[in-house]
Amino acid sequence: MGSRILTFIIKHPLIPTALADQYLAGAVLLGAAPCTAMVFVWSYLTKGDAAYTLVQVAVNDLIILVAYVPIVGFLLGIGGIAIPWATLILSVVLFVVIPLVAGIITRILVVRRYGIDYFNTVFVNKFNKWTIIGLLLTLIILFSFQGKTILSNPFHIVLIAVPLILQTFLIFFITYGWAKAWKLPHNVAAPAGMIGASNFFELSVAVAISLFGVQSGAALATVVGVLVEVPVMLTLVKIANNTRKYFKN
């Protein structure tokens, strides 16, 4: 009986192999990109140490610049998924290096001319709504291309979402518990767990589109990651706030 069941599973997989490889690639692109932006929100909601959060975000930026390409290439290579390395490197340059350099130059010029207070209170706030609009527009475009796939294969969405949710919870509790064991204060432990669990989904979506196309399973997997991350991270914020009493500080 067991052999018959195994044979049936092999002959009738839940997801076709080619599509499964695409989903796997999207999950790798998502998981290998440490969070750099939304973690400020999660840290604020848990009353985290702002200076610690800033340092961790800076470290994550450096990790992306140095390690994202080799990590993605290594993990996808293990899965037998061939990728154009030149495209992967170019994607990181376009979506990380150039914006980072442009941001540094812009900050230097604005601060030099108008001062640091103007930069922090006026200039930066001008772009808040455009950032949200850009992200929403990207998601709308992706869903317009992926709408048929989502409606025809809702079970695939569930199969993508479940492991993403599990790994987010797992990483958070490992990091959060480790911080508790090290007797770190809650305002460090909470953002540490959030930083470890969250991902730079904007980068993963952009790279997935560059490597595999806007209608690919990889792009769909990263979009599912975007939709899953926000409610999951808000749940973890609630857990962190409810367990504050178990920390000395």
Tens-place pLDDT, residues 207-221? 888 888 877 888 888
Q: Which of 9-13, 57-61, 103-107, 132-136 has the lowest mean pLDDT?
A: 9-13
Q: What is the pLDDT of residues 77-99, one digit of tens each?
A: 877 777 788 888 888 888 888 88
Burial class (CB in 10 A: 0-12, 13-18, 19+), 211: buried
pLDDT score, position 50: 84
pLDDT of amino acid 186: 93
CB 200 within 8 A of CB 33: yes
More confident residue, 173 or 10: 173
What's the rounded Cα separation, in Å, for the pair 122 and 117? 8
Res 135 pLDDT > 70: no
Cα–Cα distance for residue pair 43/38, rounded to 1 Å: 9
- Backbone φ/ψ region at 183: left (φ over 0), alpha (ψ -120 to 50), beta: left
Residue 69 has pLDDT above 90, yes or no: no
Q: Please say if the pLDDT value at position 11 is more than 60.
A: no
pTM of the predicted protein model: 0.78
pLDDT band at 243 (very low <50, low <70, confident <90, very high): very high
The predicted pLDDT at position 105 comes to 92
Above 70 in pLDDT, residue 111?
Answer: yes
- Per residue in 139-177, pLDDT (tens digit) is 677 667 666 767 777 888 888 888 889 989 999 999 999
- Report which listed range, 61-65, 137-141, 178-182, is most confident: 178-182
